[in-house]
Amino acid sequence: MTKKPLSPDLLRIDAQDEAARIENWVLDMVGKRFRKKGAVIGLSGGVDSSVCAAICVKALGAERIIGIFTPERECKEETNELGRLIADHLGITAIREDITELLKASGCYERRDDGIRMSVPEFQRGWGSKVVLPNILESDRLNISNIVVRDLDGNEIRQRMNTRSYLQVVAASNFKQRTRKMMEYYHADRLNYAVIGTPNKLEYDLGFFVKNGDGSADLKPIAHLYKTQVYQLGRHYGLPDIVLNRAPTTDTYSLPQSQEEFYFSLPYYHMDIALFAYHNGYTPLELSTYLSITPEQAERIYRDIESKRRMVQYLQSPPLILP
Amino acid sequence: MEFNKNVLYMNSENEVERIIGFIRNNVVERKKEGLVIGLSGGIDSALVSALCVRALGKEKVFGLVLPEKESNPVSRDYAEIHAKALGIRYEVNEITRELEAFGAYEKRDSIIMDLYPEYLPDKHRIKITLPGNILEKDGLNFFSLTIDDGKKVLFFERLKKHQINGIFAATDLKQRTRMMHLYYNAERMNRLVCGTTNRPETLQGYFVKCGDGGVDMEPIAHLYKTQVYQLSRHLGIPPEIIDRQPSPDTFNSQVGDEEFFFRMPYDKVDMFLYAWEHGIDMEEICNVMDLSKSQVERVLRDLTSKFRSTKHLRELPPSLLACR
């Protein structure tokens, strides 16, 4: 059988059918397999968590869903507003838990700042910061990340990070995702609800999540969907335009940061095609033609996918045990 | 299939070698620079840390002691004594402030105060227990709350489902907060987090998801508690740690694993689990353990139900990926 040429059409799903299939599955998992009374979802204001919430509302009923916002002092205000908007739109109960004090107590901010100072010694508390990975199209050197800091006058410094500095900054920042998950489990355990994980296929397959943080959940209803398919479902559920039109962000660092900068190197709709091409036996040449990049760049993307998938085995596997 | 009192006995040296190989392989395969392990002052973490040091050398093992205001003070002492004896680097990181910031104590105490308004969190002690020895009496696994003032019991009552859910939701934050610190240290040093869950705990779901169950490897998850004792003596773990009563160390009134979860002593739990896993027939279990058929049936029912109800804790979260 000849392969069809790469195109976004290959990822198109029948949103109606797929939504129904997932809804049935969620009902089955939550009700029968886990015997839970409802579901808890962390709402980030992004399309993934919003679609998951919409699925659960359809599957279980709005009265059995709790949405949780977990703002902290470095979150964009917009994120909270969007989370609230979605909760209202879907008619679900929303609980707001500001996790700033928890993050202060665990040393998240302080330890992160110490990590930044390993690269930028003049860095001061209150300055903005973010980690930026090199763009895979421009370079193969995956290990060299940059830190961008901005002082109170708006002056930016961009500095290459050494390994220890990078590891410390990421390790400390991960308190955020883990604290959020802890909060979700607190409410789920208290109510005898299940925790819904919201990674899409790009994130799930390529390990763009934190172990025991956003990577943990009782079930993951959209882990098999490419990001463009998640948007398709979002339109099917009639989610507000402002959610559907928003650029994906990590919302982990105080300076605005897109997912491309931090992990994927490509906009999500291209990353979708790249991952689809990788999984379905398209050559780097075919990918390069579609994306209008050089074959070398396409090869680099494949190598990057492969190395990320090796990492994923570590992130996804339950603890190893001896027979 | 053989079934007798010695069935859990192993060749210690061989088993130590096997576990050491397992630890080493995982660290090397995952290209990590060592291990981080939480030291509770109990026998399991003492044994695992000793095995890790044997496997990798003391420089590559980092211990983390994570007490909070309700931990038994002895736990921290033992953990430190053991870490010093092993010669590993370790840190003591109190987690009380975080638990307070979360409201973990307050949320739990408010449920308790609904039950017993005279409860004074600073003066009284609490514990949660299951009904007594399952060999002596039947009864489902209902949890009860005991409040005492250090001398006498002030309150004892069976908890309703939503009350116990609320209490555990709050107390599980202790294990989950510890997990966060273990991973913070592992990730900043490019190391793995090593767990300390043993076989009965694993099979019966006696761990917290994303808490003590959320680790990278479990070097003693295949060992019955009896075997944990055997290897600990073999490796010269300090006797005061070996002889301590195993406890979750989660409540300020001391409660053992037996009262809290297993409803029988560990040596019996081990034998029953072994028999259950290996399909030993009823008659033989009764003979070897010198128990009646109804006693054995009751225990096996309990093991099976705990195994089933905690199955999802041992598995990857379901997704639709498999049915693409």
Does the CB of A17 have a partner CB in chain B at under 8 Å? no
Residue A243: closest CA among A23, A49, A36, A3: A49
Chain A residues in contact with B177 by the CB 8 A cut-off are 106, 182
Q: Is residue B252 in a domain?
A: yes
Question: Which candidate from A25, A168, A179 shows the least CB-CB separation from B320?
Answer: A25
Asked if A321 lies within 8 A of B314 by C-beta distance, the reply is: no
A126-145: pLDDT as tens digits? 899 998 887 777 766 555 78
Q: Is residue B65 in a domain?
A: yes
The share of chain A scoring above pLDDT 70, in percent, equals 97
Predicted local confidence at residue B324, as pLDDT = 38
State which residue of chain A sits closest to B175, comparing Cα positions: A182
Does the CB of A309 have a partner CB in chain B at under 8 Å? no
Q: Indicate the pairing of strand A39-42 with strand A65-69.
A: parallel
Range of the domain at A192: 13-123+169-249
Does the CB of A106 have a partner CB in chain B at under 8 Å? yes
- Three-state SS across B88-156? CEEEECCCHHHHHHHCHHHHHHHHHHHHCCCCCCCCCEEEEECCCCCCCCCCCCCCEEEEECCCCEEEE
The number of C-alpha atoms within 13 Å of B244 and in the hemisphere containing its C-beta is 25
Report B:2-41 residues touching A (Cβ under 8 A). Answer: 18-19, 22, 26, 30
Chain A residues in contact with B186 by the CB 8 A cut-off are 171
Q: Which residue has the higher pLDDT, A82 or B8?
A: B8
Q: Is residue A160 in a domain?
A: no
Distance CA B147, CA B122 (A): 12
Predicted local confidence at residue B323, as pLDDT = 42
Does the CB of B219 have a partner CB in chain A at under 8 Å? yes
Distance CA A70, CA A99 (A): 6
Q: How far is B37 from chain A (nearest CA, A)?
A: 14
Asked if A186 lies within 8 A of B180 by C-beta distance, the reply is: no
B59-85: pLDDT as tens digits? 999 999 999 999 999 999 999 999 999
Interface test with A, best of B94, B189, B320 (most A CBs within 10 A): B320
Indicate the residue among A198, A222, A249 that finishes a domain.
A249
pLDDT category of residue A316 using cuts at 50, 70 and 90: confident
Chain A residues in contact with B97 by the CB 8 A cut-off are 105
Q: Which residue has the higher pLDDT, B288 or A142?
A: B288
Question: Which candidate from B18, B165, B222 shows the least CB-CB separation from A190?
Answer: B165
Q: How far is A153 from chain B (nearest CA, A)?
A: 31
Interface test with A, best of B180, B305, B312 (most A CBs within 10 A): B180
Asked if B184 lies within 8 A of A111 by C-beta distance, the reply is: yes
Q: Which amino acid belongs to residue B49?
A: S
Asked if B319 lies within 8 A of A220 by C-beta distance, the reply is: yes
Q: Is A143 exposed, middle or buried (0-12, 13-18, 19+ CB in 10 A)?
A: exposed
On whether both A102 and A196 belong to a single domain, the answer is: yes
- DSSP for A262-309, written as a single string: IIISS-HHHHHHHHHHHHTT--HHHHHHHHT--HHHHHHHHHHHHHHH
Alpha helix (H) residue ranges in B189-314: 199-204, 225-234, 239-242, 257, 266-277, 282-289, 293-309
Q: Is residue B5 in a domain?
A: no
Interface test with A, best of B92, B98, B110 (most A CBs within 10 A): B98
pLDDT category of residue A1 using cuts at 50, 70 and 90: low
| ∠ CA B24-B28-B33, rounded to 5° | 95
Domain CATH for B221: 3.40.50.620
Interface pTM (ipTM) of the complex? 0.91
On whether both A242 and A312 belong to a single domain, the answer is: no
Q: Is residue A145 in a domain?
A: no
On whether both A296 and A270 belong to a single domain, the answer is: yes
The alpha carbon of B88 is separated from its chain's Cα centroid by a whole number of angstroms, namely 23
Q: Say yes or no to pLDDT of B322 above 60.
A: no
Q: Is residue A235 in a domain?
A: yes
Sign of CA dihedral A275, A276, A279, A280: negative
Count of structural domains within chain A? 2
State which residue of chain B sits closest to A167, comparing Cα positions: B188
Q: Is residue A40 in a domain?
A: yes
On whether both A119 and A186 belong to a single domain, the answer is: yes
Report B:153-182 residues touching A (Cβ under 8 A). Answer: 161-162, 165-166, 168-170, 172-173, 176-177, 179-181
Interface test with B, best of A177, A186, A307 (most B CBs within 10 A): A186
Q: Is residue B4 in a domain?
A: no
A90-102: pLDDT as tens digits? 999 999 999 999 9
On whether both A72 and A177 belong to a single domain, the answer is: yes
Q: Is residue A323 in a domain?
A: no
Chain A residues in contact with B179 by the CB 8 A cut-off are 178, 212
On whether both A270 and A221 belong to a single domain, the answer is: no
On whether both A47 and A77 belong to a single domain, the answer is: yes
Query: Between chain A and chain B, how many beta carbons pairs sit less than 8 Å apart?
Result: 147
On whether both A302 and A210 belong to a single domain, the answer is: no
Q: How far is B220 from chain A (nearest CA, A)?
A: 8
H or E element: which one contains A96? strand A93-96
pLDDT category of residue B133 using cuts at 50, 70 and 90: confident
- Give the residue-averaged pLDDT of B306-314: 88
Q: Is residue B108 in a domain?
A: no
- Give the residue-averaged pLDDT of A82-89: 91
pTM greater than 0.90 (yes/no): yes
Distance CA B209, CA B187 (A): 19
On whether both A180 and A306 belong to a single domain, the answer is: no
B170-202: pLDDT as tens digits? 999 999 999 999 999 999 999 999 999 999 999
Sheet holding A146-150: strands in order across?
A: A128-132, A146-150, A156-160
Q: Is residue A52 in a domain?
A: yes
Does the CB of A24 have a partner CB in chain B at under 8 Å? no
On whether both A29 and A114 belong to a single domain, the answer is: yes
Range of the domain at B219: 12-100+166-311
Residue A52: closest CA among A78, A241, A43: A43
State which residue of chain A sits closest to B102, comparing Cα positions: A102
Predicted local confidence at residue A262, as pLDDT = 66
Does the CB of B152 have a partner CB in chain A at under 8 Å? no
Q: Indicate the pairing of strand A320-321 with strand B35-38.
A: unpaired
Asked if A224 lies within 8 A of B321 by C-beta distance, the reply is: yes
Q: Is residue A205 in a domain?
A: yes
Q: Which two tokens mark A122?
A: 């003049």
Report A:177-216 residues touching B (Cβ under 8 A). Answer: 178-179, 181-182, 185-192, 197, 201, 204, 211-212, 216
On whether both A302 and A181 belong to a single domain, the answer is: no
Chain B residues in contact with A111 by the CB 8 A cut-off are 184, 188
Q: Is residue B151 in a domain?
A: no
State which residue of chain B sits closest to A26, comparing Cα positions: B319
Across chain A, mean pLDDT equals 91
Asked if A321 lies within 8 A of B202 by C-beta distance, the reply is: yes
pLDDT category of residue B112 using cuts at 50, 70 and 90: very high
Does the CB of A219 have a partner CB in chain B at under 8 Å? yes
Q: Is residue B216 in a domain?
A: yes
Q: Is residue A140 in a domain?
A: no
Phi, psi at B258, each rounded to 5°: -65, -50
Predicted local confidence at residue A141, as pLDDT = 55
Q: Is residue B124 in a domain?
A: no
Count of structural domains within chain B? 1
On whether both A98 and A209 belong to a single domain, the answer is: yes
- Give the residue-averaged pLDDT of A285-301: 92
Domain CATH for A28: 3.40.50.620
Interface test with B, best of A68, A95, A102 (most B CBs within 10 A): A102
Chain A residues in contact with B317 by the CB 8 A cut-off are 197, 216-220
